[in-house]
Amino acid sequence: MEPKSYSAPKGRFVIIITFLLVVVAFVMLYFGVNTYFASGAYVQFFPVGILFIVLVVSYLMSSTGYSISEKELNIIHPIGAKTLALEDIKSALEINKSDIMWSLRTFGVGGVFGFYGKFYNRKFGRMNFYMSQYKNLILIETQSGKKLVISPDKLELLDDLNRYLNQARQ
């Protein structure tokens, strides 16, 4: 079978949070430039620089799509892909937004260009999010017990993933 690709559309919450943070960054840049020309002080550029670095790193780490083949699942980022061999996947199932709504972010991003990084909640324990929205949530558990949550544009990815997993186990 041919590898199949799925997009990772940004949800409304992600779009709003990202837009607001970009606006704040440009407002801070505007006032920093005005302060610099008025007084010659360039200290105001430090927080703006940090904010722009955070925005760039957040974008580069965000999920832009997923692809699946007979051997692997790829989580695609602007700077590459995280590859997960299908033989390393124990299970994949659909979950609801309510299942992860109150997850604690232990080291990750919660809204800027998506939800990604390390999270924790009572129901599933430790998880890695590679989400761009709160729709079409798929929880993947690996043979080693790691849990990943992805959010493709279509739940068809779950059907394809389970079909490939069943074929690989026969």
- Predicted model pTM: 0.86
Q: What is the pLDDT of residue 41?
A: 66
Q: Specify the CATH number for 1-170; select among 3.10.310.30, 2.30.29.30, 2.40.70.10, 3.50.50.60.
A: 2.30.29.30
Name residues whose C-beta falls within 8 Å of residue 119's C-beta, 6 or more positions apart in sequence. 100, 103, 104, 105, 106, 108, 126, 127, 128, 129, 149
For the chain, domain boundaries:
1-170
Q: Report the sign of the C-alpha dihedral through residues 139, 140, 146, 150, in that order.
A: negative
Per cent of the chain over pLDDT 70 is 94
Could you read off the pLDDT of 28-47 as tens digits, one per residue?
A: 888 777 776 667 666 667 78
Could you read off the pLDDT of 66-118 as tens digits, one per residue?
A: 999 888 999 999 998 999 998 899 999 999 999 988 888 999 888 899 999 99
